[in-house]
Structure 1
């Protein structure tokens, strides 16, 4: 199929070039694969890390997703254990103000947990967005581990 250019000198017409980003081992554009590495955390991080052996951009985002999710799970476990221990220590009539103290402690752990949840959710959305835009954000501590894993 030929394209006709009416009233235009054929020697000055340039064919459109592809502006898409490079594809990956998964067949997706690298920015899409990088963003999807964060979608289901550890699961998609592992999948894209294994599938894309050559693309450094995707491997970094997949590794960062894996390390970040392991860190978040670790913080959640520690937070749960500390909350359980504090609840047991201050439960009942161990102290004269045990009931009030337990209620305040429960409220405090709930509020801290919600702040952490919202922060992790915002970070998750931000990392997906920046990866989709083709940028790499190296998180403190987590990013260093991710770089070593990705290489």
Structure 2
């Protein structure tokens, strides 16, 4: 093991936001891939109901579902407001895509990245 790898290993062990490497889900999928796929809403629901053992995947599945529900409620509320709400609703599309891609990247990197509000709710559900 090189000196750089030892530093990375020590950093990952000291920092609880990173997952352990080499772990798989109960369905045989690498957990970073499973965590990433959770942010595709329907797949997140599937992982939420099927994955019982892997905390990393369950966290990202819960956070993805809570995020999806929150964004759906915001979308419906904005649709009810004439003109200004419609404009904000149009601007929300790229914003949502950006959040989802960012969260997929964080999960793929093996991080327990918590979004404000929904991340805390997901964390509480896991305890």
User: TM-score if structure 1 supplies the norm length?
Assistant: 0.66
Number of aligned residue pairs: 107
User: Counterparts of 2:57 and 2:45 in 1: how far apart (Å)?
Assistant: 11
User: Counterparts of 2:85 and 2:120 in 1: how far apart (Å)?
Assistant: 30
Higher helix share: 2
- Structure 1, unaligned runs of 5 or more: 1-19, 84-105
> Corresponding residue for 1:80?
79
Shift in CA distance, 111/82, structure 1 to aligned 2, threshold 3 Å: closer
Q: Is the 8 A contact 2:78 2:88 kept in 1?
A: no
User: Counterparts of 1:21 and 1:82 in 2: how far apart (Å)?
Assistant: 48
Query: What's the CA shift string for 1:40-61, capped at 9, x where partnerless?
Result: x1x2112111221111110000
Q: What is the aligned-residue RMSD (CA, Å)? A: 1.4
User: TM-score if structure 2 supplies the norm length?
Assistant: 0.77
> Corresponding residue for 2:36?
35
**1:52 is aligned to 2:51:** yes
Q: Is the 8 A contact 1:21 1:31 kept in 2?
A: no
Q: Any residues of structure 2 matched to 1:2-151 within 5 Å, and which? A: 21-39=22-40, 41=41, 43-83=42-82, 106=83, 108-151=84-127
Q: Runs of 4+ in structure 1 displaced over 2 angstroms? A: 108-111
User: Counterparts of 1:112 and 1:73 in 2: how far apart (Å)?
Assistant: 14
Highest CA radius of gyration, 1 or 2?
1
